[in-house]
Structure 1
Amino acid sequence: MRNAGLGGWPHRRARMAPKRKALTFQDVSLTYEELDDRTTRLARRLEELGVRHGDRVAYLGPNHPSFAETMFAAHLLGAVFVPLNFRLTPAEINYQLADSGARVLVHAASHVVPHERAISLDGYEEWLAGGSADRLDVPVGIDDPALILYTSGTTGRPKGAVLSHANLLWNTFNLMVGVDIASDEVALVAAPLLHVAALAQTLLPTFVKGGHSVLTPRWDVDECVTLIERYGVTWLFGVSTMYADLAASPRWLDADVSSLRVLLCGGASVPDAVIHAYQDAGLVFCQGYGLTETAPGATFLEAADSVRKAGSAGPPVFLGDLRLADTGEIELQGPNITPGYWNDPVATAAAFTPDGWFRTGDIGRVDADGHLHVVDRLKDMYISGGENVYPAEVENAIADHPDVAEVAVVGVPDERWGEVGRAFVRPRDGVELDVAGLRAFLVTRLAKYKVPVHFEVVSSLPRTGSGKVLKPALRRLPLVS
């Protein structure tokens, strides 16, 4: 087999464990043998549409087996897979389709945008079944581009981060060093596969080991508990808000979660209260740090240290290195790092230091054990009365209050201090938050200049497609008082 990339994975796995379950969606399962056949037929269909080595194939829709099939089929042909965020507006999606130059778009019937070669999941099964089962053997190099993943685009146009097959392979290796993944794993994939964390930290490592991935089209707390119990889920990945919602669910208290071995969390800082909610229940809660551009794992807190170093993002991954710039910015190096941005040499050059380290835009500190603590985004820090304030630290303190479900803090202009904090707080369900009491709670935990001047009680927080709080949107909101 001349395909050194991800496209060869279904066949390689099918040779080893043809009858094992590979994917389950809404109680319908595919074995590795069936997935191999379907991927081959889909690749032949894409070939009929003119897809060749280096072309781009886009996908638009929630989690579904066709996402994995389209990705592997594109990679069988040496094409580049472009997962699009189904939460974006048609204008935003059209920009990414045009920027990537996608030759084919596979899309859910509920997410339709104009494209000359669009394949709807409505007729997908018949169309796929008509493809030839003749095996392909297109040469694909390990350093060929595999994915174009568009960043959230919180400022300006989103950039297309390119990840090579090698980036994804080395990330899989790093994750498997950090987590003792077994061949009988059952992974719950509830976070969107269009983001690299769910794909590369859950689906791909499970696939390599011949495990079973249970896909859900969206995050739903009750459905999550049901699937854990029904399939004996052994591990899952989620972002902080997903775990906060799960811990607050009445169903969680009585759920049978005895099958769970590891909970992985990433994407944003995790409040200590959320971490301890799972650790106190006897579960292993492991955090990591990374970005889309790092495929995504850059550091990882292994199970052995998950209690002792709770709140830390762990040391650098096995094949990766980390350093801090004079500003405190985290800089990274390793075989999992993006080669750059699609058709954007200026952004690519700006992302790397002169000696080749990737600039993350995040501020961190490294403790005596070599573990990374992510302080905040470089651009989120604000200066109040000459003192640097890192919103993540303030958010962590606020989240410790028993009446708080989640919080986001931003800096806003102030005539006297230059900038002060503005906290957007979502209370726990059924709780009427006492802002004065919350302020008094913080005064004993934070220096006075770190305590926000403005507090606003909200029912929800705006988020990017990957679940991160959209702080630029909060900064633009006029002050209530």
Structure 2
Amino acid sequence: MRNQGLGSWPARRARMTPDRVALTYRGRDRTYRDLHARANRLARALARLGVRRGDRVAYLGANDPALVETFFATGALGAVFVPLNTRLAAPETRYIVEDAGAEIVLLGEGHDGAGLPGRHVSANGYEDLLAEGDPGAIDEPVSLDDLCLIMYTSGTTGRPKGAMLTHGNLVWNAFNLLVDVPLADDEVTLISAPMFHIAALAQTLIPSVLKGGRAILEPAFDVDTTFDLIEAERITVMFGVPAMFTFLTQSPRWARADLSSLRHLLCGGAPLPEPLIRTYQDRGLTLLQGYGLTETAPGALFLAAGHPADKAGSAGVPCFFSDVKLVAPDGSLAAPGQPGEVHVQGPNVTPGYWRRPEETEKVLSADGWLRSGDVGVADEDGYVRISDRINDMIISGGENIYPAEVESALYGHPAVAECAVIGVADHKWGEVGKALVVLRPGETVRPEDLIAHLYGRLARYKIPKHVEFVPELPRNAAGKLLKARLRTLYGGTAR
């Protein structure tokens, strides 16, 4: 095959295991033969609509077979997949589609293209589109260095930026995962975390297809559905953020659920609380924690099964094909026990941000080291604990929230003179946002009014759960806001 990228994988799998089930959705199985045929038809249909090599194809929808088929079809054409976060507000989604210059937007169930630029294909029109595709084989020349997808991540300036990932980035990430996690060809993988985030796509779907396993797609995470599927379908693999694994333990079904089929529980998105690790250990289960970024496709560090007991809670050591170093503020390597910024290098690291050369230059060195903006501490054995974030990002239930974006929206309310958003501890989500607001003289407003102001302007998970009115915000002599002081004064999450 001339196509060496991910778009060729359905064809490669279909020639090896055509009758093995690739995807299960709402009780319906699709084999690898089905996946290959449908992705191929979609690729030809998109080509008839004018999609060419390098063009961007966006998808707005929850986990379902159409998302998977679109991902592979774009790869078959040498086009670029742009998954859209379904939790974003309409203006945020429109900005991403425009920034990516998407040729077409495919819409999943329950989504419409109102307000979005360009051409759209509705969920109802999807099967008709496939029917227009020629069943003939397609084999565009695609190399591992070619761009595969653009995944948007919120920026500290308040505007999302698109992390570019090549076919090679994603392939090498899959190799990294398979070194640490011995997936078999009979794995049954539950994918309920959204595939518009990199972990669900790259740590579950892609390895499942590579090994010829079966992926069960769920539109969203639900505690009871998860227990039902684990027991009925004999799930062996699942990925989740800590909040998802916590919700399972809080269910009355936890103590009696049959979890005997589970082999590999992958966890990322935020540090794992040690009590949660112990709760799973008490059931004979090991949570496999990793650390990474969208920009690293995503694996950088991993704590594999069989690690020493005293390493539980750490993010592990660098993945096999990745290198990680901790850099002190003076540019030297941080000594064991001393904090340093996490830098990552390897074939899984992004070539940069879409149409953002200045942003790329800020984080990517000439020799390929990516600055993560996160602070870690390594022990004498090289196991790294992620202890801090250099920026002020809040991680709530595995979702990244950048205060600058929320603050910008708050400033749109006429009563707000100044504001700052910090992360505060939350028993359910790990962290949630807290807005500290200075009102304009003579203005009065209720906390719920400010929260209501943000609905429709921001994704719901970005909206602060708490609002507190304060007389002033602490600043230094240069006028810079002292976020650390705010956290001390108002109960922010330790940084």
- Shorter-chain TM-score category? 0.7 to 0.9
Could you give the per-residue CA deviations for residues 433-461 of structure 1, whole angstroms, max 9, x where no partner exists? xxxxxxxxxxxxxxxxxxxxxxxxxxxxx
Look up the match of 1:56.
56
- Choose the corresponding residue for 1:363, options 375, 395, 404: 375
Structure 1 residues 139 and 468, CA gap change in structure 2 (3 angstroms): farther
Structure 1 residues 469 and 275, CA gap change in structure 2 (3 angstroms): farther
Alpha-carbon distance in structure 2 between the residues aligned to 1:239 and 1:271: 11
Look up the match of 2:96.
96
Displacement after TM superposition at 1:21 (Å)? 0.4
Aligned AA (2:111): H
Contact 1:49 1:117 (8 Å CA) reproduced: no
Alignment of 1:109-258 (within 5 A): 109-113=109-113, 114-153=116-155, 155-258=157-260
Could you give the per-residue CA deviations for residues 111-151 of structure 1, whole angstroms, max 9, x where no partner exists? 21234321111121232133210011111111000010000
Alpha-carbon distance in structure 2 between the residues aligned to 1:49 and 1:39: 15
Matched, 1:332 2:344: yes
Could you give the per-residue CA deviations for residues 368-426 of structure 1, whole angstroms, max 9, x where no partner exists? 11111100111249xxxxxxxxx99xx9xxxxxxxxxxxx9x9xxxxxxxx9x984444
Alpha-carbon distance in structure 2 between the residues aligned to 1:125 and 1:427: 40
Matched, 1:19 2:31: no
Alpha-carbon distance in structure 1 between the residues aligned to 2:423 and 2:293: 26
Could you give the per-residue CA deviations for residues 248-290 of structure 1, whole angstroms, max 9, x where no partner exists? 1111221111000011100111111111111111012110000
Displacement after TM superposition at 1:473 (Å)? 4.2
Alpha-carbon distance in structure 2 between the residues aligned to 1:469 and 1:268: 15
Displacement after TM superposition at 1:101 (Å)? 0.5
Displacement after TM superposition at 1:36 (Å)? 0.4
Look up the match of 1:3.
3
Structure 1 residues 294 and 307, CA gap change in structure 2 (3 angstroms): same
Matched, 1:39 2:65: no
Alpha-carbon distance in structure 2 between the residues aligned to 1:422 and 1:268: 13
Structure 1 residues 178 and 469, CA gap change in structure 2 (3 angstroms): farther
Contact 1:17 1:32 (8 Å CA) reproduced: yes
Look up the match of 1:442.
none
Aligned AA (1:377): R
Alpha-carbon distance in structure 1 between the residues aligned to 2:249 and 2:193: 16
Alpha-carbon distance in structure 1 between the residues aligned to 2:48 and 2:379: 55
Displacement after TM superposition at 1:19 (Å)? 0.4
Displacement after TM superposition at 1:308 (Å)? 3.9
Aligned AA (1:76): A
Alpha-carbon distance in structure 2 between the residues aligned to 1:375 and 1:274: 18
1:58 aligns to what SS in structure 2?
A: strand
Count of residues in correspondence between the two structures: 410
Aligned AA (2:375): I
Alignment of 1:212-361 (within 5 A): 212-305=214-307, 307-327=309-329, 328-353=340-365, 355-361=367-373
Displacement after TM superposition at 1:478 (Å)? 3.5
Could you give the per-residue CA deviations for residues 178-204 of structure 1, whole angstroms, max 9, x where no partner exists? 000000000000100010100000111
Look up the match of 2:106.
106
For structure 1, the residue ranges without an aligned partner over 5 or more in a row are 382-390, 396-407, 411-418, 429-461
Contact 2:301 2:318 (8 Å CA) reproduced: yes
* Percent identity between the two aligned chains: 51
Displacement after TM superposition at 1:211 (Å)? 0.2
Aligned AA (2:17): A
Contact 1:279 1:307 (8 Å CA) reproduced: no
Alpha-carbon distance in structure 2 between the residues aligned to 1:355 and 1:6: 26
Aligned AA (1:232): R
Structure 1 residues 58 and 477, CA gap change in structure 2 (3 angstroms): farther
Alpha-carbon distance in structure 1 between the residues aligned to 2:21 and 2:230: 16
1:132 aligns to what SS in structure 2?
A: coil
1:362 aligns to what SS in structure 2?
A: strand
Contact 1:56 1:79 (8 Å CA) reproduced: yes
Alpha-carbon distance in structure 1 between the residues aligned to 2:199 and 2:460: 13
Contact 1:313 1:374 (8 Å CA) reproduced: yes
Contact 1:286 1:306 (8 Å CA) reproduced: no
Contact 2:98 2:117 (8 Å CA) reproduced: no
Structure 1 residues 476 and 334, CA gap change in structure 2 (3 angstroms): farther
Displacement after TM superposition at 1:343 (Å)? 0.4
Look up the match of 1:451.
none
Could you tell me the TM-score, scaled by structure 1's length? 0.81
1:304 aligns to what SS in structure 2?
A: coil
Structure 1 residues 423 and 73, CA gap change in structure 2 (3 angstroms): closer
Contact 1:270 1:311 (8 Å CA) reproduced: yes
For structure 2, the residue ranges without an aligned partner over 5 or more in a row are 330-339, 404-419, 430-453, 471-489
Aligned AA (1:73): A
Contact 1:163 1:338 (8 Å CA) reproduced: yes
Aligned AA (2:60): L
Q: Which moved more, 1:136-145 or 1:122-131?
A: 122-131
Alpha-carbon distance in structure 1 between the residues aligned to 2:52 and 2:322: 33
Alpha-carbon distance in structure 1 between the residues aligned to 2:280 and 2:219: 24
Contact 2:145 2:168 (8 Å CA) reproduced: yes
Q: Which moved more, 1:306-315 or 1:79-88?
A: 306-315
Could you tell me the TM-score, scaled by structure 2's length? 0.79
1:251 aligns to what SS in structure 2?
A: coil
Displacement after TM superposition at 1:469 (Å)? 7.7
Contact 1:172 1:205 (8 Å CA) reproduced: yes
Displacement after TM superposition at 1:5 (Å)? 0.5
Look up the match of 2:387.
375
Q: CA RMSD for the aligned pairs? A: 2.6
Alpha-carbon distance in structure 1 between the residues aligned to 2:108 and 2:34: 21
Look up the match of 2:446.
none
Q: Which moved more, 1:119-128 or 1:287-296?
A: 119-128
Structure 1 residues 187 and 277, CA gap change in structure 2 (3 angstroms): same
Contact 1:290 1:297 (8 Å CA) reproduced: yes
Alpha-carbon distance in structure 2 between the residues aligned to 1:312 and 1:80: 35
Could you give the per-residue CA deviations for residues 448-481 of structure 1, whole angstroms, max 9, x where no partner exists? xxxxxxxxxxxxxx9xxxx9985x9479754699
Alignment of 1:379-418 (within 5 A): 379-380=391-392
